[in-house]
Amino acid sequence: MRRRHMLGAAGAGLAGALIGGEARAGRRRGPGLALGLVSLSHVNDPATTTVYPGDPAFELETVATLERDGFYLQFVREGEHTGTHWGAPGHFTAGAALADDLDVADLFLPAVKIDVRRRCARDADFALSVRDLRDWERRHGRIPEESMVILWTGWESRWGTEAFLNQDADGVLHQPGFSPEAVRWLVDTGRLGHRGGTGTDTFGPDLGTDASYAVSRLVYQRHRISLEILANLGALPATGAYVLCGGQINKAGSGSTALIYGVLPPPG
């Protein structure tokens, strides 16, 4: 009953926020919607989806056609973390919440975006530091409590190419990410808090060279989630937006392939 109540309350609150006002040009707003929605997800296409090394292959198979069966249907085979996805705390933390333990409120969070594209273009192993976070806050204000802190590295433009993997001759990935010190600071100061998380347009919040997943192990503690392989981050403002995460809720799921939306503030 508690979960149903929370689901209903969160849904009603979001619906109430979306009603009223007029659409602004260039935003995805339906009639009467005050807020805007932008998709932050890549399309799941085996021809363009870059799979993390060692993960299951992504396959789409047509199993029914209009001509033969009177309806069209595909069979989907993929890992829970293929393409744009979110990870549940139990992905890295024993005994922590899994996908079917989460409530809507865990998947609807205030978001901030930190644009580090220029630095990542110069250094594929760039790691966001505490100093970088403090510099960002001097320009944009304090990161709200229990936020989704999203790193915009520019990696989304590499999607579907070998450049997204960016492997060296030894097979090591070179992708930018958060430094462990930066995430520890976000946690200790409450900016991530009990519920919050990190987001990125790469495979995950860790540097590609870190086989220990030190940052992920910090993020997934308590009740936090991780958003990964995000797209269209240019449409998300630095502050003022929320993220809304959809996707399948698999029993005991480590996360889910997802439709992740940016919920944009009303105009004005």
Q: pLDDT tens for residues 209-247?
A: 999 999 999 999 999 999 999 999 999 999 999 999 998
pLDDT at residue 148 greater than cutoff 80: yes
Distance, CA of 188 to CA of 109 (rounded, Å):
19
pLDDT of residue 265: 84
pLDDT at residue 27 greater than cutoff 50: no
- Return the number of other C-beta atoms located less than 10 Å from residue 250's C-beta: 15
Query: H-type helices in the chain, by residue range?
Result: 2-18, 66-69, 117-122, 130-140, 162-165, 180-188, 214-219
Name the residue with tokens 């609807």: 108
pLDDT of residue 26: 37
pLDDT of residue 266: 80
pLDDT of residue 30: 52
Cα-to-chain-centroid distance, residue 262: 10
Distance, CA of 105 to CA of 112 (rounded, Å):
17
Long-range contacts formed by 61-67: CB under 8 A, 24+ apart? none
pLDDT of residue 35: 82
Main-chain phi, psi angles of 7, to 5 degrees: -60, -45
pLDDT at residue 23 greater than cutoff 70: no
Q: Are strands 197-200 and 148-152 parallel, antiparallel or unpaired?
A: parallel
Distance, CA of 153 to CA of 202 (rounded, Å):
8
- Encode 125-148: b = buried (16+ Cβ within 10 Å), e = exposed: ebbbeeebbeebeeeeeebbebbb
pLDDT band for position 24 (cuts 50, 70, 90): very low
Instruction: For the full predicted model, state whether its pTM sits above 0.95.
Output: no
Specify the 3-state DSSP secondary structure of 138.
Answer: helix
Average model confidence (pLDDT) for the chain? 89
pLDDT band for position 22 (cuts 50, 70, 90): very low
Residues 6+ apart with CB under 8 A from 22: 29
pLDDT at residue 190 greater than cutoff 60: yes
